Structure 1
Amino acid sequence: MSTEIQKLYDERLGRYQATIALEPTDRIPIASGSCYLAEVYSGATNQDIIYDPAKWLQAEMAFIKDFPEVDALRDNRVWAPLYDAVGCKTYKLPGRDLPATQQFQFVEEEYMQADEYEFLIKNPGAFMLEKFLPRVLGEYGGQDANRSHMAFLKAGMASQMMADIMRNRSIQLQTVCGMPQPTTGAFVAPFDVLGDVLRGLKAALMDTYRRPKLVLEACDVLVDIMVRFALSTADPLRRYPIFVPTHKACFMSPKQFDTFYWPSFKRVLERLIDAGYTVRAYLEGDWSQHWHHFNELPKGKVLCDIDTQGDIFKAKADFGQQQAISGGIPDSTFILGSTAEVTERVQHLCETVGKGGGFIINGGCNIPYDTKPENFRAMIDAIMKYGWYDKNIKPVPKAAPEPRAAIDALAKQYRVTPWEVRSKEIGGVMGNEALIQKPWDNLEAMAFNWLWTWSM
């Protein structure tokens, strides 16, 4: 990386990190967590992006060239061949199930039966392998054993290929464009695991009345699983926040949220913070009844994206002194509004919500696919005019914080076949047992974490 590109990367990352930490910086960052416009701006289709990594990277680089003021860039998180390899039923994909120019869609069903809570709680690995995955992965668990085994072999290879694609993309954007990532790694709140892919929204909410104790026990088990999954996919250098979309909270009353959603979600957040990470949370829908809870977390550790249905001004008043927030421009303004309307909105946000820092101007958790490019340009130009705090500040990256707890102390690591079981099966070993046990346990942990890829 050239000295000039390194300087640009450090400036962008430092500005972003300072904003999350509620510390002084030079100006409001331009750092949407999901800039979907970047995927299609240069003419690529949605199918191109999820099937052809080269076209995805080319699209992003073209976007960065035309919008060099952007401080962090993320869009696609799906590599379709992995989903094809296992016949994943939870997504409809552009070019396969949908027209090539449409975005992917999530398919919500009851993939877990009401009488299976105890199985999930007692043995989550066996539950995934025996119940959940055969229902959501069409290539797995069928009558053709060879096809099923091949599907898992292909999935393992495809997972490694996807990791290489994501790593190459990150390196290229950093070293060629000086562009940081807004997030690396992901998880979902324990209740959302139930409400998204296991039970579905209707069944999960009914379960809070019919079997509340089992819902709470399941969420408790999922705390450890989500902590481990998040850490297994996070940036090892702890430069970037871990991403969490929140899907079902906006449908819950304060009493339901306080009982079933927040306690387990809070524990995951606290443990990731203890591990030295920040978190970027998409508060999807209207979170206004719930977002005061972010005042309970350590200051400057969670960046909260406020959706279009939320009130960015109320969010600032309610918890904006404790955590950074992002948002403020309605999606309809990006898609249908004029450049003058965008400019006026940005100026107002800079003069109100932007006061004192800790704020990123964005759409409702994303920059929509259908955003008019001239409106995105108008947002940038307005931020560059009205969004400055102190031009004398030279942003630099923050040193990675030391974890406050060892990883192994943060969450239980589940394994389907622990080394103790395998060691007894083979009757002990002749040499250094630790040399054999460590990779065995690491691979077991990686495989177990992979099972929960399909809960996202």
Structure 2
Amino acid sequence: MSPEETKQLFNQRLGRYQAAIALEPTDRIPIATGSNYFAEIYSGNTQQQTLYDPQKWLEAEEIFIRDFPEIDVLRNNRIYGPLYDAIDCKTYRLPGRDLPPDTQFQFVEKEYMKPDEYDILIDDPKRFLFDCFLPRVLGEFAEKGTPRSYIAFLKAGMAQMMMGQVMRNRAVYLEQTHGMPQPMTGAFLAPFDVIADAMRGLTGIMTDLYRCPEKLKAACEVVVHEIANFALATADPFRRYPIFVPTHKAMFLSPEQFDEFYWPSFKKTIEILIEAGYTVRAYLEGDWSAHLHRLRELPKGKVVCDIDSQGDIFTAKEILGGYQCIAGGVKDSQLILGTPQQMRSHVKLLCETVGKDGGFMISGGCNFPYTTKAENLRALIDAVLEFGVYDSSISPQPRKPDPQRQAVPGLEPQQMLTPWASKLSELGGVQGDEALIRTSWEQLESMAYNWMWQWVM
């Protein structure tokens, strides 16, 4: 393709994707899964190569695009093995290092926060990170002040820069060479999940619901601003793509518990990001049927709701149709164990029901799994092209990129370990343009502070 043809293809895909999110007319149903694990290993790569060899990962995705060019988006952000090695991250087990090379990475959930540490988290999040949390989840930080710990943090900073460069280069290459957008950029967790996943663990958080409910809710409120600032720092600066949020523990909560503990701080975080000009792509993991109605409280057409394999896409359509974009409809078992004929029939049903009137993206249960059968994915795509066309004369164009930074109502400023005022006092003033020095200082402070919060993800 010529550069102009590639640009047109990119705009066509991105315009279709953005229009579906906004509940606007588009030519056909987008084929837009958030996480395409199948693409990573389709070429024969191991999962270790995906996490450790950026070139092999890119080559795998180019082969996938060649064979499945009708796909509308392809995920970017992934774990980068060298970064996790440099700091000895304890919350993940990686393929090729802790697991066989062809095994999916695993999250290691433990009690990394003690129940009596809620007050520290609420009163001083920075102290909590340094004194309580990070020494437990980062092995190289366990013995603070040693030469090895200093070098480890230096290596981790370098690895973070390498990861950022890898992800940026990949995104630009796929856009300019293959006309391929991303499904999302940037990430965050619901405040409840921040505490439940990486800090207290499932057992701890479920007991906290009864033993210290008010402290848990107060901690969630504190985390709102920390995680919202993190999300904005990692998001697409041009606001083209949604910000990603997986939801992990909502499936374990009753409707009453969800309404009291999970939803208030989660809703507030999403509203902050929407106010900042972004949309959100939420993996509603497990069965969210009892909670779906809450998503109607958010501004219309601002959240992509990925319905997991345990959920019911038809119930989601009844509750959210016309309010938020719905993604999913194809269960993991259908992609892995089904036949092309079964896939064609099922996708036809989805197009005629869930896809009616738009606001729908076809996907797996939050992903296309690693063990997807290629013939089933091909049958899915062909069925969408046959049954999922609305009006081929419609050609939605992407929104105009908006790189303007703006103050966000309701969002507390980004915290910093050493605010500029403190540094300026140490310097005893400056002789030149203070703004030039301050801008770089605060940018680096913000990057470092967000780096610490990424380990709750």
User: Fold-level match, TM-score > 0.5?
Assistant: yes
Which residue is 1:78 aligned to? 79
3-state DSSP of counterpart to 1:31 = coil
Q: Is the 8 A contact 1:331 1:363 kept in 2?
A: yes
Measured after TM superposition, the shift of residue 90 of structure 1 is: 0.4
Q: Is the 8 A contact 2:238 2:402 kept in 1?
A: no
Aligned positions of 1:26-425 closer than 5 A? 26-74=27-75, 77-142=78-143, 145-400=146-401, 406-407=407-408, 410-425=411-426
CA–CA distance in 1 between the matches of 2:381 and 2:77? 22
Measured after TM superposition, the shift of residue 75 of structure 1 is: 6.0
CA–CA distance in 2 between the matches of 1:73 and 1:423? 45
Measured after TM superposition, the shift of residue 362 of structure 1 is: 1.0
CA–CA distance in 1 between the matches of 2:385 and 2:7? 22
Measured after TM superposition, the shift of residue 420 of structure 1 is: 1.8
Deviations 1:333-387 (A, max 9, x none): 1101111111110000000000000001111100000000000000000001000
Measured after TM superposition, the shift of residue 426 of structure 1 is: 3.0
Deviations 1:201-229 (A, max 9, x none): 11112112111111111111111011110
CA–CA distance in 1 between the matches of 2:355 and 2:283? 19
Measured after TM superposition, the shift of residue 430 of structure 1 is: 3.1
CA–CA distance in 2 between the matches of 1:74 and 1:143? 36
Aligned-pair identity in percent equals 59
Aligned residue type for 1:204:
I
Aligned length: 456
Q: Is the 8 A contact 2:272 2:410 kept in 1?
A: no
Structure 1, 178-187 or 415-424: larger mean CA deviation? 415-424
Measured after TM superposition, the shift of residue 431 of structure 1 is: 3.1
Q: Is the 8 A contact 2:48 2:101 kept in 1?
A: yes
Measured after TM superposition, the shift of residue 125 of structure 1 is: 1.5
Aligned residue type for 1:327:
G
Cα RMSD for the two superposed structures: 1.5
1:452 equivalent in alignment to 2:428: no
CA–CA distance in 2 between the matches of 1:376 and 1:421? 57
Q: Is the 8 A contact 1:306 1:328 kept in 2?
A: yes
Q: Is the 8 A contact 2:237 2:403 kept in 1?
A: no
CA–CA distance in 2 between the matches of 1:76 and 1:187? 12
Q: Using a 3 Å threshold, how does the CA distance of structure 1 residues 225 and 42 change in structure 2: closer, same or farther? A: same
* TM-score, normalisation: structure 2: 0.97
Q: Is the 8 A contact 2:76 2:167 kept in 1?
A: no
Aligned residue type for 1:72:
V
Measured after TM superposition, the shift of residue 436 of structure 1 is: 2.2
CA–CA distance in 2 between the matches of 1:222 and 1:96? 32
Q: Is the 8 A contact 1:73 1:179 kept in 2?
A: yes
CA–CA distance in 2 between the matches of 1:404 and 1:263? 26
Q: Is the 8 A contact 1:276 1:402 kept in 2?
A: no
Q: Is the 8 A contact 1:304 1:324 kept in 2?
A: yes
Structure 1, 143-152 or 408-417: larger mean CA deviation? 408-417
Q: Is the 8 A contact 1:29 1:361 kept in 2?
A: yes
Measured after TM superposition, the shift of residue 425 of structure 1 is: 2.6
3-state DSSP of counterpart to 2:251 = helix
Which residue is 2:18 aligned to? 17
* TM-score, normalisation: structure 1: 0.97
Structure 1, 314-323 or 67-76: larger mean CA deviation? 67-76
Measured after TM superposition, the shift of residue 143 of structure 1 is: 6.5
Q: Using a 3 Å threshold, how does the CA distance of structure 1 residues 261 and 143 change in structure 2: closer, same or farther? A: closer
CA–CA distance in 1 between the matches of 2:324 and 2:125? 33
Structure 1, 341-350 or 209-218: larger mean CA deviation? 209-218
Measured after TM superposition, the shift of residue 41 of structure 1 is: 0.6
3-state DSSP of counterpart to 1:200 = helix
Measured after TM superposition, the shift of residue 418 of structure 1 is: 1.1
CA–CA distance in 1 between the matches of 2:126 and 2:391? 52
Q: Is the 8 A contact 2:21 2:359 kept in 1?
A: yes
Q: Is the 8 A contact 2:113 2:200 kept in 1?
A: yes
CA–CA distance in 2 between the matches of 1:366 and 1:426? 52
3-state DSSP of counterpart to 1:199 = helix
Aligned residue type for 2:298:
L
Q: Is the 8 A contact 2:340 2:379 kept in 1?
A: yes
CA–CA distance in 1 between the matches of 2:124 and 2:439? 23
3-state DSSP of counterpart to 2:34 = coil
CA–CA distance in 2 between the matches of 1:408 and 1:450? 24
- Structure 1 residue runs of 4+, over 6 Å off? 401-404
CA–CA distance in 1 between the matches of 2:76 and 2:434? 44
Measured after TM superposition, the shift of residue 403 of structure 1 is: 7.8
Structure 1, 115-124 or 17-26: larger mean CA deviation? 115-124
3-state DSSP of counterpart to 2:36 = coil
Measured after TM superposition, the shift of residue 255 of structure 1 is: 1.0
Q: Is the 8 A contact 1:126 1:416 kept in 2?
A: no
CA–CA distance in 1 between the matches of 2:102 and 2:77? 14
Aligned residue type for 2:426:
E
Deviations 1:61-92 (A, max 9, x none): 00000000010011661110000000001000
Give ranges in structure 1 of 5+ residues lacking alignment: none
Q: Is the 8 A contact 1:239 1:400 kept in 2?
A: yes
Measured after TM superposition, the shift of residue 232 of structure 1 is: 0.5
Aligned residue type for 1:438:
T
3-state DSSP of counterpart to 1:300 = coil
Q: Is the 8 A contact 2:239 2:403 kept in 1?
A: no
3-state DSSP of counterpart to 2:301 = coil
CA–CA distance in 1 between the matches of 2:340 and 2:313? 21
3-state DSSP of counterpart to 2:361 = strand
CA–CA distance in 1 between the matches of 2:206 and 2:406? 34
Q: Using a 3 Å threshold, how does the CA distance of structure 1 residues 404 and 44 change in structure 2: closer, same or farther? A: closer
Deviations 1:170-223 (A, max 9, x none): 001000000000000000000000010011111112112111111111111111
Q: Is the 8 A contact 1:249 1:261 kept in 2?
A: yes
